Amino acid sequence: DVKVTQSSRYLVKRTGEKVFLECVQDMDHENMFWYRQDPGLGLRLIYFSYDVKMKEKGDIPEGYSVSREKKERFSLILESASTNQTSMYLCASRWGFGTGELFFGEGSRLTVL
Amino acid sequence: GQQVMQIPQYQHVQEGEDFTTYCNSSTTLSNIQWYKQRPGGHPVFLIQLVKSGEVKKQKRLTFQFGEAKKNSSLHITATQTTDVGTYFCAGNSGYALNFGKGTSLLVTP
């Protein structure tokens, strides 16, 4: 079975702190994604990566950056956390370009105080 | 950019009633996917539709892709309490999937 593992299920951080959210997949997928999910807003794409060291902005990249140094690992970075970044963050991966099932991690619920 | 609209936002049905959620894209899609997210869980893939006018069934679930490849629907026949959750459609646009806001289904026994 494909497994997408997010390092932290729950985090509580203070405004201004730097936050790292880690995601690892074990199926050699080329494509990895970070979404945030908020009530009534669905899933919104923050960043995605289609290869090592390659990244593309999604719909809401402001306040975030990403890193993909190894194929299996895709990190989301909040350089200076703010309260409006309190959310559920979902990592996902898939093999195909423009097609194919997305496999999601369990999610990381971040609270910024 | 591409927008995917989904209605209704919420639906509350009695067990045994049918349920339908609708999805519309602002652009023609190469394919569309459907996901289910149980309360407290993460989205799980249900199906992908690729061809214009395609209809697929999974037990009590029927998925349709419009002729113009801009709309889709998910119909559940005779809902059960296990159907509770949020159903998302997602349209493929280049590398990424654009998700609708989802329809939350509540089923009362």
Residue B32's contacts (CB-CB under 8 Å, 6 or more residues apart) are: B23, B25, B48, B49, B65, B69, B72, B89, B90, B91, B92
Distance, in Å, from the CA atom of B105 to the CA atom of B109, rounded to the nearest integer, reads 13
Whether A56 sits inside 8 A of B35 (CB atoms) is no
The answer to whether A92 and A102 have CB atoms below 8 angstroms apart is yes
- To the nearest 10°, report the CA torsion of B96, B101, B105, B106: 130
Structure confidence at residue A100 (pLDDT): 85
Whether B97 sits inside 8 A of A58 (CB atoms) is no
- B91 at the A interface (CB within 8 A)? no
Residue in A with minimal Cα distance to B97: A98
The answer to whether A26 and A72 have CB atoms below 8 angstroms apart is yes
The per-residue pLDDT for range A64-111, each reduced to its tens digit, is 999 999 999 999 999 999 999 999 999 999 987 778 899 999 999 999
Q: Where are the alpha helices (DSSP H) in A19-97?
A: none
**In chain A, what percentage of residues exceed pLDDT 70?**
98
Residue B1 has pLDDT above 70, yes or no: no
The per-residue pLDDT for range B87-99, each reduced to its tens digit, is 999 998 777 789 9
Which of B33, B42, B92 is opposite residue A107, by nearest beta carbon? B42
Whether A40 sits inside 8 A of B101 (CB atoms) is yes
Distance, in Å, from the CA atom of B80 to the CA atom of B68, rounded to the nearest integer, reads 32
The answer to whether B88 and B6 have CB atoms below 8 angstroms apart is yes
**In chain A, what percentage of residues exceed pLDDT 90?**
88
CA distance, residue B11 to nearest chain A CA (Å):
14
Distance, in Å, from the CA atom of B76 to the CA atom of B19, rounded to the nearest integer, reads 5
Task: Kindly list the residues from chain B whose CB atom is less than 8 angstroms away from the CB atom of residue A44.
Answer: 99
